[in-house]
Every structure is written in C-alpha cells, then in structure tokens.
Amino acid sequence: MELHIKQFEELTVYELYEILKLRSAVFVVEQKSRYLDTDDMDQDALHVFLTDGDEIVAYLRILSRDSGETGYVKIGRVIAKRRRMGLGTDIVLAGIRTARQVYKPEKIKIAAQTYTKEFYERLGFVKTPDDEYDIDGIPHINMELDMQKS
C-alpha cells in the first residue's frame, strides 16, 4: 500500500477519474443516493488516498474552508473499496495525521453516516449534540475529533 497526499492540481487525470468513479460507485450507485458528487469543493481540498499497485483502494478529502468558525477542518467522502480489511481505519488515521501536519486544527469535523458512528468513535470522534439529519436520503450525524486530546 502506498499513501498519496495531493492538492487538486497535483492529481493526474487518471487519479481524478478513479477517485470520482469510486465515489460514484459507492455513494451514488451502491447507496442509491442521487446527488451530484462534483460539488466544487474538490478544487480546494487535500486528497488523501491509498493505492495497491495502480488501484485506489481508500480515499478521503480534507476541506480547510470554513463558514466563519475557525480552528477546524472537515474530513469527507471517506471510502474504502475493500471493506473489513482495515482500509477505512488506515485512511482516516492518515487523514487525521495529514490534517494535523498541514493545517494544525483544533478540531476535525465529519458529517458521518449514522450507521458509522461506532467506527468513528473507535478513532476518537465524538457525536455532537446536533440532531440526526438527512443528506440525499441517508441519515447523518455530526462528529468531532478534539486534536488537543488525540
């Protein structure tokens, strides 16, 4: 496995295609969620992914944009192509390390699909007091990782 950390402009056309294909296969097709994955946030994101040979097997993006609140980044589009093999844990831990090194945030926030709550709790994230909400037909919760404690 090889870890890659790239700005949008550094991605090859092949890498971008494979990332978008993987995200669409899982978030749109598998989860039957009709939404536009290309949301104009990728251009400002830091893309973190694992490859096995030429194959992208896990991915996430880190967003440093915020809406008035400072001191945090967001991790999103977390995906592991091969499930139950530890790749999800590997990519999230790589995302946390990358966020810490590049942005030095006080917190990392994530909009987690509700069923993944325990997964993120094992990695140190805590559910915020916000109510569960719907994104494109899938229940989500907000979670945070306090970087001072981890």
The pLDDT tens digits for 104-125 are 999 999 999 999 999 999 999 9
- Print the domain residue range for 102: 2-146
Q: Could you give the count of Cα atoms lying within 13 Å of 94 in the half-sphere of its Cβ?
A: 25
Encode pLDDT of 39-97 as tens digits: 888 999 999 999 999 999 999 999 986 555 678 999 999 999 877 788 999 999 999 99
Stretch 143-150: mean pLDDT, rounded? Answer: 89
> What pLDDT sits at residue 64?
86
Beta strand spans in the chain (E)? 2-7, 45-52, 55-63, 72-80, 107-113, 126-127, 133-135, 138-146
Q: What is the CATH number for 51?
A: 3.40.630.30
Q: What are the distances in angstroms from CA 59 to CA 18, 35, 69, 88, 105?
A: 10, 19, 26, 9, 20
> What pLDDT sits at residue 66?
56
> What pLDDT sits at residue 65?
64
> What pLDDT sits at residue 58?
96
Separation of alpha carbons 61 and 1, rounded Å = 18
- How many domains would you assign to the chain? 1
Q: What is the pTM of this model?
A: 0.91
Of residues 135 and 36, more confidence is placed in: 135
Q: Could you give the count of Cα atoms lying within 13 Å of 7 in the half-sphere of its Cβ?
A: 5
